[in-house]
Structure formats: C-alpha cells, structure tokens
Structure 1
C-alpha cells in the first residue's frame, strides 16, 4: 500500500512537471516562425524576441540594407547602365535590359517594391564596381551602424551559405533606415508606375498587410523567400504615436509569417504605450540642476512603472518596475551639455497577457502539488502509526 501511494505521488509530480514546462514554453505569443523580434522604433527597446541572435538566412530582407546603403552612398539622380550580369540575375526581376540606362532612385524603388534582384545587382555594380566589392563595403557600412552578426555576400539575398544575419540585426538596420525620409517613402509605397525598356507595368508591393490584407497602422514592409530561408518578413507599423518594427524569420509558410506578424503587432499595441520625458524637465542631484535637452519616449507595458534616476556622474537612467535598466539619455548640467549620445536601450523581458496567465497557472499547480504532497505524507505517517499500535 505504501509503495502504491509513493508511486502515485511520483507519477503525479512528473505529470505536473511536464505540464508546468509546457505552460512555461507558452509564455510568449504562440509564434511558429523560428525567430522573431519586435522593436519599438524610437527608443530601440525590444518588446518581444525569440532566437533574435541566431544566425539565419534573410532572403530578400537583404534589400533593406542594399536600399539604405544606395541612398546614403550614391546619387539617386545618377543614370545607371545595366550590365549583362544584372540582366541575367535569377529570381524576381524588374526586367532590365543590357545597356538600359535607369535612374538610381528608380532601381531602389524596383528593389524594394517589386523585390527586383536585377535592380540589386545594377545598384551594387554602379556604386562599388562589382557585386564582390559591394559586399565588402556593405559589411563595413553595417558594422559602423552597429550590426554585429551580419555578413552579406550579395545585394539581393539569393542563397549563399555565408550570407547570414539575425532578426535583431535586421530590426536594427530597419530602425536606422526608417530615419531616412527617402527610404521611408519608398518602403511605404504600395504601387508605382514602371516604364522600362522591356517592361511597362504597375508595380505593387509584395507585402500583403500593406495592400491585400491591410493592417491598421502599417507604414512599410519587405517580404522574402528562398527555400533555405523559408518565409521572411519585415513590417513597420504605427499606432497612437508608437512605431514598431517586426521581423519574423523562417516561417513554414507565407500564411504563418503573416499571422505571426499580426499576432506580434497586436500584442505590442495592446500591451505597450509610450511614456514621455519632456524637453526641459529638471532633476536635482548634489546641488546641480540637470535638464533634458529633448523629448524622449519609451514604451512601457501595462503594469510596468518607469523610474528616472540621476546618477552620481550626472547621467539620467531609465529603469522599469523590476529595476531592469532600459536607457540613458542626454541631459544638460547647468546649461552645459553632459552627453551627446542618443539613448541607449536594453531589451525588455516583459511578456504579454498570455505569459502572465501561464505564470499564474504554474504557481497554482505548484501550490496544488505541495498541498497534495503534504496530505500524502501525513496519510503515510498515520498509517505507520496505526501499524505500530496494532503490533
């Protein structure tokens, strides 16, 4: 009898342990893509992430980097002569012809809106002389921006085993690019009349949340697919003044990549709101007055509380309720600027409501396990007591 009771307890505890682990794995939104990240654009705070630092294949999301590189390193009014290598690029094209002369800006538009691989090769050759030189220069450019784990071999994202990046780096380059008005306009273009030497048509963005399945607040996007990368997607959106960047990588299907993106957008806009620190706000520390020299906004989740603290060296630090450091911002000391740096931001560990519910469930289960264990122990002791008196 005692062995049966002990065996029952062990079996029950194992079942509860497995159940607890399943719940713990569901603490973030039910996302099926292998990697994802949601970043608030203004502050850079990471709201949700999974495998965000894992090296992966981006497919045509590469073109975000190519576009901003071309905008910042070329003259958009330049006329680009199309080479045979560009003309013969594999995959999606805008059907450029050898010797055709096309404005650089038009190539960037064809690159982002219609995902033209031929446009990407033409851009690379025009700016750096060859695709190989372009790749070397682009990688240096991306490191200067702050991308740590990206190594690109081409301007379009066609598969190469050494052409890799991460969800986090893709969010960073998108955040950087969105500060450029020219990029932002092209990235958000839904359709464009295309009058080419071999192709006269209207280009429509491939991003379905911008056109076919419009999502409220979407401001831009880029799609990608090669067999090795699966379905990849970058989406930018704004609601109530809060802009977010969503990157999903290696989606099992296009439908899943979009549904995951919508779920992450819904979670971000439901769970977070912007809290502002206004320009000219004063803080006193050690008889010095410190003043913010701009207005700064940070996304705060429901239930979080933001704390502002001036350190001994006169730096304004922003923390959230659990005391996770999220940012430092420039301030002035008696009208003398202390820091010129932009806010530096740490990723949030906050979770949506599903996570909080799962955590509560785990706590309840643990409590039930403890109660049952105590009951069984008392029962066994009583049985032992009954046995000793009977003898």
Structure 2
C-alpha cells in the first residue's frame, strides 16, 4: 500500500511539473496583459505574442488611427472651429471651448500627448465632415492596412459602442504603418508640447502621458489608453541600434513593465541580419539578363543566432521577350528575389534590369530632325 501511495504522489508531482512548463509563447518573457504582441518594425515579423488575435476593447490607443488620418489629410495647417459637441466629450480632455479656433496640428498633439477626447471629436468633424464620415475613413484605412479583426465606431475609444474593437496584432500593424510617417513619429515621440490658448493669457502646456518615454531609454513613441471595460491598453515603439520594435498590450495590469520585458527580450534574442544587399546581383541566367540585374533595397530580417544559417534566396525571373531591346528596358522589373527562413518565404523584392545606354541617333537622323524642325514640321504629331 505504501508503494502505491508513493507511485500516486510521484505521478502527481510529474503532472504538476508538466503543467507548469511554460508554453512556447511564454518561454522567454511573461506579461500581465490578456493580449500582447512584439513586432519588428522593418519586416513585420512577430517576435512574441500572447493571444494576439483575440478581439478586445482598445480604449484610447484608437487615437493612433485618428492621428494618422489627420496627418495624411493634408490639413494640419488648417484652423479648426471647435464645436459644442466636441467640448462635451466625456473622459480625458484638453478643455477646448465651444467656438474656439485652433490649428489642426495642435489638436493632434493634444490627442496624442494628453489623450484629449475633445480633440478627437474636433479632429473627426473637421477631417471627416462629421463623426460618421470620419469613422468611415477609419474603417476604410483599417482594411487597407490589413487590420482584419478591427472595427472602429468612434475616434477616441470610449465605451459608447459595442462594436468598437481590435486585436494586439492589428494595433501593431497600424502602428507599423503610422511609424512610416515622419510627422507621426515626431508627434508620438514628443515629451512636452506648448500650444496657444486664444482665450487666456497663458499657453497650454502638455506633457506626454506615455511614461515609457522617460522610464525606458530606447522608447521612441506610443499611445496610452484606459476605460473601465477595456482596462489598461498601451502601444509603444522602441529603437536600439539598427532594430526598431513595436509593443502592444491589451488589458494589462502592469503594462509599463510588460513592454520593457518584451523589449529587453527582443533586443537580446534577435539581431538584424542583412540577407540580401542592394545593387547588382550575380546569378547564372540567360545571356539577355546576365550581368544586368540588380535590386534597389537591402533586405534585413530579425533572426536569432540559431536562425542565421537557415536563410536561403531564390530568384524567379520572367522569360524575356523575343524582341528584347536592352536600351528600352532599363529600370524594368523582370522578376523577384525571395528570401526563405527555414524553408518559408519571409520577404520578397523586385529584380530590375539595367542594360546599356540608350542608343544615340545617327548623324543623318539628327540632321533630318533639325531640318524638319526649322521648316516647322512637328516631329511628334
């Protein structure tokens, strides 16, 4: 009987041990968030994820979409007349006044640094013509970016609609898109901003709510969020050396430390590998293409030390036309280079053709054209 009990206890100990072995997603870092993702900005590769594709409420990180639409509208220098509706927005505010006239650029700073819900409504009404019009633009842009599990119902993220949601992964896609815009980069990374206050004799002073900008030295920007139903949400970006990362957490009790933990693990575990250099590519092919092929951009990709030897490149070229004339094909895309990591395609880039110089006209052709131009004959119809 004693032996049986020993076996039972041993079995329980083994089962508890197995149950507590962390899954692959948690093997390197632990986060408090219900949903999280760490993405490398250049490639879009996901370096860490936790329930990253589950739809959740997102609170004020919604304003990343509001900001990039305002920036892309080309209206940043326009003056916005603040409506009564904008000033009645609930929650966080920069305390705009009805009828106040303020530059759209200032509103975007108030949106991103102080998370002003009043600024969100004022921006939406000016850029979209109405709240509904702006929401339409938000969802249109989401589809363009590839945010497949996202739906916006307002420009600020308040819990006033049931169908306002996204995922950690989709918000990383949005941030990756936004970070390609230099104006967005500047605003999202601004620690302090001074905006005019037309009805007072003092300027507005706005300090960024994103504590990571001072708490973690590699942070370059981001957006905070909170509602009672969404809980704490946070998007941030960080750059160390030649690697730029995007971190997103949804419903996190310890989001600042979640982001730092993800960043530290990402920077420690991955390096940016230069897989394919821009310029001329030397591959064996037919005589038409031989020594005339190049790519425009260097391809880099985040990889662990163990993955560095797992890259391979495959070139796919179009069959040249029978009447191929090299002088007329300069700069033409004639195929693509595919980068594989452990047998899976991770990046692609066009291959271009660069032949000889364009053929010069002969002496007779040049004299003929000059003669025709002198007598007033139009050379091109």
Same fold? TM cut 0.5? yes
Return closer, same or farther for 1:36/1:147 CA change in 2, 3 Å cut-off.
same
1:43 match: 43
1:268 match: 266
Separation in structure 1 between the aligned mates of residue 259 and residue 16 of structure 2, nearest angstrom:
29
Q: Of 191, 209, 213, which residue of structure 1 is paired with 2:212?
A: 209
TM-score by length of 2: 0.80
Contact 1:39–1:48 (8 Å) recurs in 2: yes
Return closer, same or farther for 1:198/1:157 CA change in 2, 3 Å cut-off.
farther
Question: Per residue, is there more helix in 1 or in 2?
Answer: 1
Separation in structure 2 between the aligned mates of residue 58 and residue 326 of structure 1, nearest angstrom:
32
Contact 1:315–1:328 (8 Å) recurs in 2: no
3-state SS in 2 of match to 1:89: coil
3-state SS in 1 of match to 2:22: helix
Q: Is structure 2 residue 312 aligned with structure 1 residue 308? A: yes
Q: Is structure 2 residue 279 aligned with structure 1 residue 280? A: yes
Separation in structure 2 between the aligned mates of residue 21 and residue 335 of structure 1, nearest angstrom:
59
TM-score by length of 1: 0.78
Separation in structure 1 between the aligned mates of residue 102 and residue 218 of structure 2, nearest angstrom:
33
3-state SS in 1 of match to 2:301: strand
1:227 match: 228
Contact 2:36–2:248 (8 Å) recurs in 1: yes
Aligned residues: 327
Deviation at 1:21, TM superposition (A): 2.4
Contact 2:338–2:349 (8 Å) recurs in 1: no
Return closer, same or farther for 1:303/1:146 CA change in 2, 3 Å cut-off.
same
Question: Which deviates further from its counterpart, 142-151 or 111-120?
Answer: 142-151
Q: Of 341, 344, 348, which residue of structure 2 is paired with 1:329?
A: 348
1:21 match: 19
Q: Is structure 2 residue 340 aligned with structure 1 residue 319? A: yes
Contact 1:317–1:325 (8 Å) recurs in 2: no
3-state SS in 2 of match to 1:109: helix
3-state SS in 1 of match to 2:262: helix
2:298 match: 295
2:178 match: 177
Contact 1:285–1:310 (8 Å) recurs in 2: no
1:244 match: 245
Separation in structure 1 between the aligned mates of residue 353 and residue 196 of structure 2, nearest angstrom:
58
Contact 2:63–2:157 (8 Å) recurs in 1: yes
2:136 match: 136
3-state SS in 2 of match to 1:303: helix
Q: Is structure 2 residue 37 aligned with structure 1 residue 31? A: no
Contact 2:57–2:230 (8 Å) recurs in 1: yes
Structure 2 unaligned blocks of 5 or more: 318-334, 356-381
Separation in structure 1 between the aligned mates of residue 304 and residue 182 of structure 2, nearest angstrom:
29
Deviation at 1:11, TM superposition (A): 4.5
Contact 1:230–1:250 (8 Å) recurs in 2: yes
Please give the per-residue CA displacement for 1:41-81, whole angstroms capped at 9, x wherever unaligned. 11111100111111011111000000001111241111111
Q: Which structure has the higher relative contact order (CA within 8 Å, separation 6+)?
A: 1
Equivalent positions of 1:94-173 (< 5 A) are 94-159=94-159, 160-173=161-174
Deviation at 1:12, TM superposition (A): 2.3
3-state SS in 1 of match to 2:20: helix
Please give the per-residue CA displacement for 1:107-153, whole angstroms capped at 9, x wherever unaligned. 11110011111000001111122212211221012101221111011
Separation in structure 2 between the aligned mates of residue 201 and residue 126 of structure 1, nearest angstrom:
21
Separation in structure 2 between the aligned mates of residue 126 and residue 19 of structure 1, nearest angstrom:
59
Return closer, same or farther for 1:333/1:70 CA change in 2, 3 Å cut-off.
closer
Question: Which deviates further from its counterpart, 146-155 or 128-137?
Answer: 128-137
Separation in structure 1 between the aligned mates of residue 340 and residue 7 of structure 2, nearest angstrom:
44
Structure 1 unaligned blocks of 5 or more: 337-391
Q: Is structure 2 residue 77 aligned with structure 1 residue 77? A: yes
Deviation at 1:246, TM superposition (A): 0.5
2:56 match: 56
Separation in structure 2 between the aligned mates of residue 304 and residue 248 of structure 1, nearest angstrom:
27
